[in-house]
Amino acid sequence: MDAIINWYNDLMSNEIWFYLIHTLLKLVLMFAVILAFVVLSVWIERRVAGWIQDRPGPNRAGLPLFLLERFGSKEKQPLKNWLHFFGIPETCWIAKLCTWLRLDREIPCWGLIQPCLDGGKLFLKQETTPSYVRKFYFILAPMLVLGPPLVAAAVVPFASEVNTCYGNISMCVANLDIGPLWIFAISGLSVYGLTLAGWSSNSKFPFLGGLRATAQLISYEVSMGLSIIPLLMMFGTLNLQQIVQFQADNGWTLLPLWGEGLGWQRWAMMLPLGISFIIFVTCVFAEANRTPFDMAECETDLVAGYHAEYSSMKFASFFMGEYAAMVIGSAVVVTLFLGGWSIGFGADAALAAYSEWLAVLCQFCMFVVKLLAFIFFFVWVRWTLPRFRWDQVMKLGWLYFLEITVANIFLAAAIMYFIK
């Protein structure tokens, strides 16, 4: 036993091994969380859509009990046996309620199983690759769509730091000093997936979809990058972990109510920051290719757009890529504007003084709550607004957003220079 502990101590004391191990752990955690969120956001989307549209949405799919039998359970009717165990007669209202809740057939999960089952269905479906496609790029495209959002997630901090006896652990996979730039650079890559999918399908509707996606993503990338410059001027850093730390100390970007955030300058800065927020969120919508900006796949004129020729798991990759982009987009908005993991009102420092691990746990929960709230906002917008027309999207991007963001930078600079 001592040998194992000694070996562990030696290993963790070695800086390289310590770094490798905690990074790997965070990596696994991050991917698990993101992929779980992709599945969860599909469920959220469908339930919220149902809520908005006066219908239930997927609320039935549960874990069927025959799975227990499949895994070796001898019990044929678990509910009956349980009722028998507690001595409840089958005509009793409790038994009837249980039957009404379908407890005799499944373990209910409010439909949470639905996206998993859908995924399984897509996985088992026949894969058809049309004969006229360019095979290599056709197969490459879905990977290029799903990959970038997951890689971009690496720099998003999900909690503050912890000092262990072996060293300092910063709760994000890669604590880069170029956080936002990394995200823009990587998530911009996903346009290649859409373009390649549209082009390699060798079919007209996907081709138009691919072209639209390219034009749209490029034009929104510019204003997206420019729109956060006022923030970066205020933060004075590009490191996302430090950006969130700044917000924890000085008030969230859009809620400067504590710390140093109460000064005149911060209140005056609310104007450029508000403009930044609106433009950045719109650009995130455009980047994630969701209504009102889903030009690339708008079903009423392009049928399914760039993924019209895809089936089975390749289609699912596009589908998951879109939701992953949505989750990452929400995470970035939350990090930059809504305080990331910070709990706010000085609670972070107080908690950290009590117990760092507890602080990290609370911060992670806070981050998840904020993320869910923003995903809800994403979904809400999608099911409320009609879709833009393609040329209007271009016009909005190049003629309005670009000018406004550039003017916004000067406005922010003026405020920072003149108002102290």
Partner 1 sequence: MDYLKNDADDRGELVTLNVGPSHPATHGVLRLKLVIDGEEIVSCDPVIGYLHRGMEKIAENCHYNQFVTYTDRMDYLAPMSNNIAYACAVEKLLGWELPERGQAIRVLCCELSRISSCFLGTGVYAMDTGAMTAFLYAFEEKERVHNLYEQICGARFTSSYTRIGGMTRDLPKGIEKQILDFCDSALRTVDEMEKLLLHNKIFIDRLVGVGVITKEMALQNGMTGNNLRASGVNRDLRKTNPYLGYEKYEFDVPVAEEGDCYARFQVRMEEIRQSVRIIRQVIATMPGGPIWVQLDKGILPRKADAMQGIEELIRQFMVTTECVNAPAGQVYFAAENPKGELGFFLDSQGGGIANRLKMRSPSYCTLSILPELLPGHLVSDVGAILGSFDFVQGECDR
- Residues within the interface to partner 1 (CB under 8 A): 49, 52-55, 132, 202, 204-205, 208, 291-292, 294-295, 298-303, 383-392
Q: What value, to the nearest 5°, has the Cα angle with vertex 273 and ends 277 and 406?
A: 90
Q: How far is the CB of 48 from partner 1 (least distance, A)?
A: 11
Phi, psi (5° rounding) for residue 152? -60, -30
Q: What share of the chain is helix, strand, coil (3-state, %, to 5)?
A: 70, 5, 25
CB nearer partner 1, residue 197 or residue 351: 197
Q: Which is nearer to partner 1, 256 or 292 (CB)?
A: 292
Q: Which residue, 246 or 390, has its beta carbon nearer to partner 1?
A: 390
CA 134 to chain centre: 31
DSSP 420: -
In the block, residue with structure tokens 């609670």: 347
- Least distance from partner 1 to the Cβ atom of residue 224, Å: 20
Q: How far is the CB of 285 from partner 1 (least distance, A)?
A: 12
Q: Which is nearer to partner 1, 194 or 360 (CB)?
A: 194
Q: How far is the CB of 132 from partner 1 (least distance, A)?
A: 7
Greatest distance between any 2 Cα atoms in the chain = 79
Judged by CB, which is closer to partner 1: 121, or 204?
204
Cα angle for residues 313, 315, 317 (degrees, 5° grid):
70
Task: For residues 100 and 87, give the distance between their C-alpha atoms in angstroms, rounded to a whole number.
Answer: 19
Residue number with CB closer to partner 1 (323 or 337): 323
Collapsing DSSP to helix, strand or coil, 91 comes out as coil
Q: Give whole-number Cα distances, 166 to 13, 22, 174, 315, 337, in Å.
A: 6, 11, 18, 45, 33
Closest approach, Cβ 110 to partner 1, in A, equals 21
The region, left, alpha or beta by phi > 0 then psi within -120 to 50, assigned to residue 80 is: alpha
**Least distance in angstroms from the C-beta of 404 to partner 1:** 16
CB of 138 to partner 1, least distance (A): 16
Q: State which residue, 138 or 246, has the beta carbon closest to partner 1.
A: 138
